[in-house]
A and B are shown apart, each in its own frame.
Chain A
């Protein structure tokens, strides 16, 4: 095994599996074993042929972009991890430590396997891109308008953006929130929205990457939120799938209502990251309702096959939707990437009324954040 192959394997394993190994407590010797096994695979002719075929299928010959795919190198690292980890129990036995086979392997697999549940839930929550958004953000409905003609720069930044880029909240209180106009959630209120529109750097004609980010979130506060802040907080995504009592046993309905009455809250939260990326990929944005909202409204995860949905005794009460699409490329035609990634939170209208009764209309704010960026480093050029 060459040093170069080993260095490549180490880079791959640390990049793809480092977080997962850390989460599992870095079992002694496992990283070295995974690197050795992965390096062996990376040096085979079969691996070389497979990844070449995959890249040839997914991108234009002149493109150097990495397609959004689970390629042979990632698969080699995952196989190496699971193969090496399968030997831990015997290694322990050879050193005099006998463990219960089933329970040990189940525990080790829980910590070391690639958990696809969030990625699958997110795909189940995917909808065609909705146009629902507050009136001041209607300009953002056309996806990445500057992408359609690379020679035309009059559409960058998108017309209408200037009027909202300095806004921190939309006047009008909760009445400024957008409502769903058709479909199964007609009349429901959008209490959170985040969407990014982005195009990669373009070669001919040369143009840097560009992105626009819009965020809307219902907030509960006595005064105006601080300038430059996002109208979101952060929460674990598992509130969508696990009853809140299993995640936070210290709160209850009274405490939640008291917190909503007295404190300042962003009602929508960006889901927190988790250790270890999955080979299935995960959505760029996912919104979660904050704990006091879930508790105060008595919401539980919806049963059956669904995406992100919480229910009360009357049925579905709060849903999270995700979307992506409108594919763009960097001038090489392939691979293509979604120009738009977004998510929103919809609340049943009667529950907004109930929340208004707890919080008071005067404390509702519709927070907004609009920014745009040019260039690789995402530097905000709006200042």
Chain B
């Protein structure tokens, strides 16, 4: 169900591979295998990678399909996205690289690593030197090597831990992250954390909390969403997972401090924090003993209050269905129906490809998960979608229920539609009911448009030519 819903959203490598793996794990007797749905889903998921911009557009270019995704698609009988050929080398006439070649002194400077004395005192100068890189310097120059900076920070942190203890090292780590600005390559912080983690067995009592702190600070300092969001969020939930696995108390304490710092900091600095917390807690609860993502839901519900507070007094959607936080865990079946409804909702989006993908999802789910699909479709058919979308969805229902039964909910909705004032809608609804052996209501006598009535009367009076 989740994999089918994935068709209707843009390419995202992690969810694509996850969706494909879920499909591959379906048991051999699952209806999805018998009706040939899996290759269709695999192709639909991997084809979304072609929906990325070739020219630079206002959206990010997105990920490339990788070999793991291709192999997963092949296991399902899908074609798999072939490796992308490299783009031809072109000299881009960008203002960033036109007429601004590095000077000789810049080149000489970039080719020498900074001289750093030993000890904690030289960590900050090392970072300040690193973030001072001019934009037109070669990033591959020795001075700007991220690995060298990771070593310069990491080994000094270990030295401070050995000499002064974990608390002092964590204090220095906080000083380290403050030195990076918004445009810096903060991925080096994840390398520092991984380096400490690798050596944690040398002094577990001090290095495990330090590694946990390093992972947490990396999660909060690396920017997500292509640099637009505070915290790494969905891009790097692995950092938070590892931090909690090592030392949950340290991780949660530091994360709470960083959230408070973000709130108290510069305007707009909180953009992305809530979604990062939801993503982090969905991947790993802050309490390692509790696997339920209750904290993620709690963040979501808390965010709702803020969103409601910020919304203006009235909206055109006041009468629409609104989100209400639930306290009880939803059942698997209701979650599946909800996800199907979510996927089918794209039928109401204006873009034609969105609408087609919704109908592909409906086709696949009617064959593989008929009960959930019919429950969701009966809800969608109740919406005022207009003649076109209702006709398309009803055509899919007609093709997908030829050999099966109708649920009572769907039959009841079709009974209503069989009395619609739209010809194609009521004719199709009646046909589906008839195919299932259900009673069909008589089509209503619709008021005729005067011009049609007059023209028909004239034609009949004149008789056949």
Q: How far is the CB of A307 from chain B (nearest CB, A)?
A: 7
Interface residues of B in 60-107 (CB under 8 A from A): 65, 70, 73-74, 77-82, 85, 87-88, 90-93
| B456 x A70 contact (CB < 8 A) | no
Looking across the interface, which residue of chain B has its beta carbon closest to that of A75? Answer: B386
| B78 x A36 contact (CB < 8 A) | no
Looking across the interface, which residue of chain B has its beta carbon closest to that of A309? Answer: B36
Q: Which of A69, A86, A116 contacts B391 (CB 8 A)?
A: A116
**A229 within 8 Å of B (CB atoms):** no
A29-B459, A148-B55, A305-B367 known; A116+B386 contact, CB < 8 A: no
| B43 x A280 contact (CB < 8 A) | no
Interface residues of B in 383-401 (CB under 8 A from A): 386-389, 391-392, 395-396, 399
Bound Cα distance A90, B452 (Å)? 10
Q: How far is the CB of B357 from chain A (nearest CB, A)?
A: 7
| A90 x B446 contact (CB < 8 A) | yes
Q: Which of A28, A74, A97, A326 contacts B388 (CB 8 A)?
A: A74
**B445 within 8 Å of A (CB atoms):** yes
Contacts of A306 in B (CB 8 A): 36, 39-40
| B367 x A304 contact (CB < 8 A) | yes
**B282 within 8 Å of A (CB atoms):** no
**B353 within 8 Å of A (CB atoms):** yes
| B51 x A327 contact (CB < 8 A) | yes
Interface residues of A in 110-124 (CB under 8 A from B): 110, 112-117, 119-120, 123-124
**A245 within 8 Å of B (CB atoms):** no
Bound Cα distance A92, B57 (Å)? 55
Contacts of A88 in B (CB 8 A): 423, 448, 452, 456
A-B contact count (CB 8 A): 294
Q: Which of A74, A114, A144, A280 contacts B424 (CB 8 A)?
A: A114
| A83 x B421 contact (CB < 8 A) | yes
| A85 x B423 contact (CB < 8 A) | yes
User: B427-465: contact bitstring with A at CB < 8 Å (1 yes, 0 no)?
Assistant: 110110010000010110111110111111111100000
Bound Cα distance A112, B357 (Å)? 24
Interface residues of A in 239-288 (CB under 8 A from B): 279-281
User: B398-428: contact bitstring with A at CB < 8 Å (1 yes, 0 no)?
Assistant: 0100000000000000000000111111111
| B451 x A29 contact (CB < 8 A) | yes
Bound Cα distance A123, B47 (Å)? 10
**B351 within 8 Å of A (CB atoms):** yes
| A101 x B442 contact (CB < 8 A) | yes
**A108 within 8 Å of B (CB atoms):** yes
Q: Which of B93, B440, B459 contacts A102 (CB 8 A)?
A: B440
| A149 x B93 contact (CB < 8 A) | yes
| A114 x B388 contact (CB < 8 A) | yes
**A323 within 8 Å of B (CB atoms):** yes
**B20 within 8 Å of A (CB atoms):** no
A82-B424, A89-B445, A182-B74 known; A142+B87 contact, CB < 8 A: yes
| A87 x B460 contact (CB < 8 A) | no
Contacts of A105 in B (CB 8 A): 423, 426-427, 430, 443
Contacts of A280 in B (CB 8 A): 352, 355-356, 359, 392
**A126 within 8 Å of B (CB atoms):** yes
Looking across the interface, which residue of chain B has its beta carbon closest to that of A110? Answer: B427
Q: Can you list 22 residue pairs at the A/B interface with Cβ under 8 Å?
A: A79-B422, A82-B387, A82-B423, A83-B446, A86-B421, A87-B452, A88-B456, A89-B445, A95-B460, A101-B442, A102-B430, A112-B424, A116-B359, A117-B395, A120-B363, A141-B85, A149-B90, A152-B90, A184-B79, A280-B359, A305-B36, A306-B39
Q: Which of A67, A71, A117, A127 contacts B47 (CB 8 A)?
A: A127
**A163 within 8 Å of B (CB atoms):** no
**A129 within 8 Å of B (CB atoms):** yes
Contacts of B452 in A (CB 8 A): 28-30, 32-33, 84, 87-88, 91
Bound Cα distance A81, B425 (Å)? 12
Q: How far is the CB of B290 from chain A (nearest CB, A)?
A: 40
| B430 x A106 contact (CB < 8 A) | yes
| A58 x B359 contact (CB < 8 A) | no
A94-B448, A148-B87 known; A28+B456 contact, CB < 8 A: yes
Looking across the interface, which residue of chain A has its beta carbon closest to that of B442? Answer: A101
**B339 within 8 Å of A (CB atoms):** no
User: A31-46: contact bitstring with B at CB < 8 Å (1 yes, 0 no)?
Assistant: 0110011000000000
**A57 within 8 Å of B (CB atoms):** yes
Looking across the interface, which residue of chain A has its beta carbon closest to that of B362? Answer: A120
User: A329-337, A350-358, A362-370, A373-381: which lies at the B interface?
Assistant: A329-337
